[in-house]
Amino acid sequence: MKFSILSDSLNKMESTTKRLELTDYLVELFKNTPQDVVGRIVYLLQGKLRPDFEGIELGVAEKLAIKAISKSSGITSKKIEEEYRKTGDLGQAATIILEQKTQTTFLVENITVERVYETLFKIAKLEGNRSQDMKMKYISSLLNDATPLEASFILKILLGTLRLGVAENTLMDAMAIAYTGNKENRTILEKAYNVSSDLGKVAEVVATKSLQGIQEFKIILFNPIRPMLADRVKSEEETIEKMGEKFAAEYKLDGERVQLHVKGEKVVLFSRSLENISQYYPDIIEKIPKSIQADEVILEAEAVAINENTGEFLPFQELMHRRRKYKIEKAVSQYPITVNFFDVLYHNGNSCLELEYQERRKLLEKIVKEDDYSKLVPMTIVKSENDIEDYLENSINSGCEGLMLKMLDKPYQAGARGSHWLKLKREYRNELGDSLDLVVIGGFFGKGRRTGVYGTLLLASYDEDNDTFTSICKVGTGFTDEYLDQLYQILSSKVTIKKNPRIISEMEADVWFEPELVIEVVASEITLSPIHKAAKDEIRKGAGLALRFPKFTGKIRVEKFPEDASNNQEVISLYKGQKKIAHGKSLM
């Protein structure tokens, strides 16, 4: 397939933000795509090479890309950087540079999607000393044969700056129309996606086997299932209103969610955001098979750090020490954990997703043989506000965050946040009623004790409609020296020359970061703000929302993608929630 077909489509898609137009362009593209290439096209459209859980990252830095453009155009890196500064987009800068060059040379050959994909794949796989040189060679050979427009999209994919604003749902709408003739079939595609987390595979199946193939789509062991999520409730009373007469209450443990895929001695672990995290938990890989009584299972558990002497649960931060590349064995013995199971999604060849909660729990109790390391999450059946309060108290006293409330007769809704599961937390510190997970977009150099690190961070919420990150506050409290060092280490690799175009902020920072890292903060209040951009114009024209007195909680949420951060709808609902309370008080 000619790469120009894809780059023409991408060009059209970049020029619109309207979902219907985007869908039309995608349908047209799918119709022009041979069946055996459609999977690769879907990954490229998402700026990826494979589904996220395979962990294949392109990892090309701006500097290297600039060198490659320089090599294939004969124009100096300095000039290219100047152009980049003007346009703010390296892909676009490359188009301008290469357009000058094509006036004097001829294109050698038509490049294909297959060739671009394969080359990008090779680049992603390169490691070691000479990898930078090799990467540059591969990139400049592609750029040599590409038209300026093609080159611009190759670079955007390489640098991770392709921003089409096509959400997964839009992609599935287009697949449903192109391959089944009916947009309504999206929900069937969505089911397949929720159990495989692999949109490329879903596209291949629907393209080759149409709807029937998708309906027969099964859970694949070692491909992660998208997790079910919970809505939040603020009180025992609200819980009863939403859950009815009788339901399950489980401790909400403060650890890391782990999806375990087990077949005999083979164990693979996925995080909440479906990253393969097996490397951080060699102890789980070793110990779990002994506690599992089944041939093949997919289970969900919360891995929690514990005090080995007392068995007490320790806060989530302790687990952070496990996130290291080297000396993991030392971290395993220094920071012991227990694995606390709460669900079963697949058992000996059969999906368990359609089973009711109470049936799944029964099965789970049969599968997991409890010992000092493997446990079942404490659960009880509750019927009244008193029951809930009692159990919440127990849970908090054991070092947990609160309760998860689950309807007894409901299936597991993969990939959905709904009301069949609720979470009730007791956030003493937090007057807003809940914490927020925000994306670190900028940094300010510290003074005094904080010289040499970022003393204050600029944070953003996620704007789902525009796929951007909108500034919401500066935070400078809650950081111990250890956190400041740790954050400095992590953030140093995310510094960019120019502000990423997905960052929406009027406030200027000393340094800008790739919007990738998510941290948790609490705050005393959400207020209208003339400077910050979160939910701009939603409450009042010209004003955004901002956090007052934000404080870092110590949680660096490495298991979350920036798109999983608190979004502006959540910020608005917290803003409105606090208004109600304030209003209620003033009436009394």
- Residues near ligand ATP, by CB under 6 A: 229-230, 250, 252-253, 257, 272, 302, 342, 377, 404, 423
Q: Pick from 511, 512, 495: which is nearest to 503 by CA? A: 512
Return the number of the residue (257 or 450) whose C-beta is nearest ligand ATP: 257
Return the number of the residue (211 or 230) whose C-beta is nearest ligand ATP: 230
Q: Pick from 210, 145, 201: which is nearest to 182 by CA? A: 210
Return the number of the residue (99 or 431) whose C-beta is nearest ligand ATP: 431
Instruction: Name beta bridge partners: 546.
Output: 527
Q: State the Cα–Cα distance between residues 553 and 530, nearest whole angstrom.
A: 26
- Give 61's contacts (C-beta < 8 A, 6+ positions apart): none
Return the number of the residue (423 or 426) whose C-beta is nearest ligand ATP: 423
Q: Please list the active-site residues.
A: 252
Return the number of the residue (398 or 492) whose C-beta is nearest ligand ATP: 398
Minimum gap (Å) between residue 405 Cβ and ligand ATP: 10
Minimum gap (Å) between residue 398 Cβ and ligand ATP: 12
Long-range pairs, 542-545, Cβ under 8 A, ≥24? 544/470, 544/471, 544/472, 545/472, 545/571, 545/572, 545/575
> Please, are residues 265 and 456 in contact by the beta-carbon 8 Å criterion?
no
Minimum gap (Å) between residue 220 Cβ and ligand ATP: 22
- Collapsed DSSP state (helix, strand, coil) of residue 439: strand
> Please, are residues 341 and 378 in contact by the beta-carbon 8 Å criterion?
no
Return the number of the residue (114 or 434) whose C-beta is nearest ligand ATP: 434
Q: Which residue is nearest to ligand ATP (CB)?
A: 257
Minimum gap (Å) between residue 188 Cβ and ligand ATP: 25
> Please, are residues 219 and 345 in contact by the beta-carbon 8 Å criterion?
yes
Minimum gap (Å) between residue 250 Cβ and ligand ATP: 4
Minimum gap (Å) between residue 519 Cβ and ligand ATP: 12
Q: State the Cα–Cα distance between residues 40 and 28, nearest whole angstrom.
A: 16
Q: State the Cα–Cα distance between residues 393 and 426, nearest whole angstrom.
A: 9
- Give 161's contacts (C-beta < 8 A, 6+ positions apart): 89, 90, 91, 500, 501
- Give 283's contacts (C-beta < 8 A, 6+ positions apart): 332, 336, 337, 373
